[in-house]
Amino acid sequence: MATFQFNLVSPEKLLLSGPVDQVDVPGSEGDFGVLAGHAPFVATLRPGILTVHREGGSMRIVVSGGFAEVSDAGLTVLADIAVPVEDVSRESFAGFVQEAEEAAAKAPEGVQRDKLSLRAAQLKELQATLAT
C-alpha cells in the first residue's frame, strides 16, 4: 500500500511524524479518511478520535480541535491538544467537559454561545465514545 507523510503537531511539540497508510480525521463537518495522493485540502477539526493506520498496527489519538492540511507534502494535523487514547484519564476529561459546559452556559446569547455549546456537545459525545 502506498504511504504518505503524516505530521501531528501541537503548540508544545511535534507528536508524530512519519510515513503512514491511512489517517481517519474527525473533521468539523464529518469524519474523513486521507490516503496517499489525496487532493490538496484544508479542514477544521472537532473534538474526536483520530485514527492512524500504519505498518505494524493502528493508533488512536484524542484531539480537541485544530486544523488538518493535505498538500503534496502529505497530511499535517495542527491539534490544540493531542493525547493517545490509552493515556486519557477519565477524571481529567470529565473536568474538561464540565469546563466547556460552564463556559457555554456563561457566554452571552448569540453566535459565541452556539459555538461553545456545540463544542461542549461534541466533547460529551467523545466522552461517551471513550467510556465504551
Partner 1 sequence: MASLKDMRVRIAATKATQKITKAMQMVAASKLRRAQAAAEAARPYAEHMDTVLRSIAASVAGLDSAPALLRGTGSDRVHLLLVCTAERGLCGPFNSAIVRLVRDYTNKLMAEGKEVKIFCVGKKGYEQLRRQYERNIIEHIELRSVRTIGFTNAEAIAHKITDLYEKGAFDVCTLFFSRFKSVIAQIPTGQQIIPPVFEANGNGGAAASYEYEPDEEEILAELLPRNLAVQIFRALLENNASFYGAQMSAMDNATRNAGEMIRKQTLTYNRTRQAMITKELIEIISGAEAL
What letters, b where the CB count within 10 A reaches 16 and e where it falls short, cover 35-54? eeebeeeebebbbbbbbbeb
Pairing of strands 74-79, 4-9: parallel
How big is the site for partner 1, counted in residues (CB under 8 A)? 22
Q: Judged by CB under 8 A, does residue 52 bind partner 1?
A: no
- Residue 8 CA to chain centroid, in angstroms? 10
Q: What is the H or E stretch that residue 19 is in?
A: strand 14-20
- Please select the residue that binds partner 1; options are 49, 51, 59, 69, rule is CB under 8 A: 69
- When the beta carbons of 89 and 132 are compared against partner 1, the nearer one is 89
- Please select the residue that binds partner 1; options are 3, 5, 7, 117, rule is CB under 8 A: 7
- When the beta carbons of 1 and 108 are compared against partner 1, the nearer one is 108
Per DSSP, 85 falls in state G
Q: Least distance from C-beta 132 to partner 1, angstroms?
A: 28
Q: Which residues contribute to the site for partner 1 (CB under 8 A)? A: 7, 9-14, 27-29, 39-44, 67, 69, 71, 76, 78, 80
